[in-house]
Each structure stands twice: as structure tokens, then as C-alpha cells.
Amino acid sequence: MKVSYFPGCTLKNKAVMLDEYARRSAEALGVTLEEIENWQCCGGVFTTSKDEVATKLSSVRALKDAALKGQPLVTVCSACHNVIKQTNYAMLTDPEFASKVNRYMAEEPYNGETQVLHYLELLRDTVGFDAVKEKVVNSLKGKKIAAYYGCLLLRPAGVMQMDDPENPRIMEDLIRALGAEPVVFANRNECCGGYVTVESPALAARKSADVADNAKAAGADMIITACPLCRYNLIKNGSELPVVYFTELLAEALGVKEDTNE
């Protein structure tokens, strides 16, 4: 199976192994991630102003590329996924906005036809966690793992529609499929403070510490995340638990992880 793939800027520099483990694991599961040609930054954040068109054009181009191939568009980075999913929703539900974007692009119109999937949704809904479990060669039995969702995977809930924003289970179900024990903790879908780091470093540090301390108190041995910013913030602010990408855990269980220097 082939799907269109948008890696995003961070996965090409600071979060290279989030991308690399995603690719290796996908191939092991029978899925090829076909990287969009000539993609550009997703825009970083989704702005709600209808007049703000330019920052959304790169996302629309990626969406249109996938549509022309008749493929879903898969992302891994939480921020990229949030921006692209919200942009696609706006193109699908807001005719005024879609008209402005399509006039600006001066190309064949795009109106939200592409299915946007996070890699976790690809595992759950396309591959299936039972199939993932069957491919495990290195069971993670004995590990207690806390899944940290953060802000962007789940919200706004009406647009993202990945899971219950207050009581998600998609990462916990993946952890079970890999043989480990998921640790549910209160702060798993709270903000790490990443977006206020410049304005208030002390607040960001406190929020990150709350997440890490809460996971540790719940009995976790490690934290997994899909967000490069969350991982950076938790590590920078002194998490006592290892913080790794969920794709690294997946690659380890599937037997395709290699030693890296990251």
C-alpha cells in the first residue's frame, strides 16, 4: 500500500529519527510513505483569520498533490498534522476561504477532497493494531509507558476527530499491541508549555515538569510522544523519565530500529 507523506521541516533536522523510524516501521507493516515532492513548511501554526491565506498555501498544495494521486495524506509531526488537518477542514467547509485560496493559487481548484491521517490513525484504522501485534518480533513486555498527547493531536476535537480529547486511547492501544503496559496519567493531554517558552520560560518549565512528574508518579518508566516540540520541552526542562518518539518504540518492537546518535 502506498500513501502520500508530508514529513515537515522539523523531521528533516531536529527530529530526523521520528521520520526515519516512521518510514522503517511502515515498510515493515506493508505501507510505503511516498514523500510529497517539493513540499514546503506547513505554516507552523493554524491561524483562524480568513484573510490569512499565504501561510496555508503550502498545506493546500500538499493536499492537492495527494488528491491527484488518489492517496490519503499522512503526517507524523503533531504540529504539521494539526495545521494540515485544519486547513483541509477549512477548504471543505468554508466556501469563502476556499475561493480565496484557489484564486490565489491560480490552478485547478482544490476543495478538501483528501483524507488526512496521522500516522497513529494509519496504524489503527488502515493497518490495524491486531496486524501490528502480529508483526512484533521484540515484545516490549515489562515496560510501563506513558503516552503524552499534548495539545495538537486532539484539539480542536470537532476538526481533528482522532480520538476522545478528554480520554484518548489510541496511543495506549498501540502500546498494548507492542506488548508493553500503558500508564494512564492525568496530564497526558495537557500543554507542555512549548508555545509560551519565549514569553514565559518559567511557566513553560513548570508545565513541562507537571507533565513529567505526573507520569512518573503514575508509575511510568518512559514517556512517548508524537510532537518534536513536546519532546524538546520535556527534556529541556529536566524530565527524569526518558522521552522518546512513539515511532522509535514501534521500530524497536518490529525489529527495525538501529542505533543512532540522536
pLDDT, one tens digit per residue, over 55-113 is 999 999 999 999 999 999 999 999 999 999 999 999 999 999 999 999 988 778 999 99
Task: Say yes or no: 93 and 167 in one domain.
Answer: no
Task: Say yes or no: 76 and 106 in one domain.
Answer: yes
In a domain, 261, yes or no: no
> Where a domain ends, among 69, 87, 119?
119
Task: Say yes or no: 139 and 81 in one domain.
Answer: no
Number of domains in the chain: 2
Residues 6+ apart with CB under 8 A from 21: 245, 247, 248, 250, 251, 256, 257
Task: Say yes or no: 222 and 114 in one domain.
Answer: no
Q: In the prediction, which pLDDT does 51 show?
A: 81
Q: Is the pLDDT of residue 52 over 90?
A: no
pTM for this model (two decimals): 0.95
> Where a domain ends, among 119, 151, 182?
119
Task: Say yes or no: 80 and 176 in one domain.
Answer: no
Q: What angle do CA 194, 195, 201 make, to 5 degrees?
A: 65
Contacts for 54-59: CB closer than 8 Å, 24+ residues apart: 54/104, 56/83, 56/87, 56/90, 56/101, 57/101, 57/104, 57/105, 59/83, 59/84, 59/87, 59/88
Q: In the prediction, which pLDDT does 180 show?
A: 98
Report the range of poorest mean pLDDT among 6-10, 191-195, 203-207, 231-235: 191-195
Q: Which domain holds residue 37?
A: 2-119
> Where a domain ends, among 87, 119, 151?
119
Q: Which residue, chain included where needed, has cell 486547513?
A: 87
Report the range of poorest mean pLDDT among 41-50, 91-100, 217-226: 41-50
Which secondary-structure segment (H or E) carries 21?
helix 16-28
pLDDT digits (tens, 9 = 90+) for 143-189: 999 999 999 999 999 999 999 999 999 999 999 999 999 999 999 99
Task: Say yes or no: 72 and 178 in one domain.
Answer: no
Please say whether the beta carbons of 189 and 147 come within 8 A. Answer: no
In a domain, 201, yes or no: yes
Q: Is the pLDDT of residue 260 over 60?
A: no
Q: In the prediction, which pLDDT does 45 show?
A: 87
Q: Rounded to the nearest 10 degrees, what angle do helices 201-217 and 228-236 cross at?
A: 90
In a domain, 64, yes or no: yes
Coil, strand or helix at 234: helix
Nearest Cα neighbor of 79 from 48, 107, 43 is 43
d(CA 120, CA 125): 8
What percent of the chain has pLDDT above 90?
89
Task: Say yes or no: 6 and 105 in one domain.
Answer: yes
Report the range of poorest mean pLDDT among 134-148, 175-189, 248-262: 248-262
State the CATH number of the domain containing residue 48.
Answer: 1.20.1050.140
Task: Say yes or no: 104 and 186 in one domain.
Answer: no
Task: Say yes or no: 150 and 70 in one domain.
Answer: no
Task: Say yes or no: 112 and 133 in one domain.
Answer: no
If you ran DSSP here, which 8-state letter would residue 261 be given? -
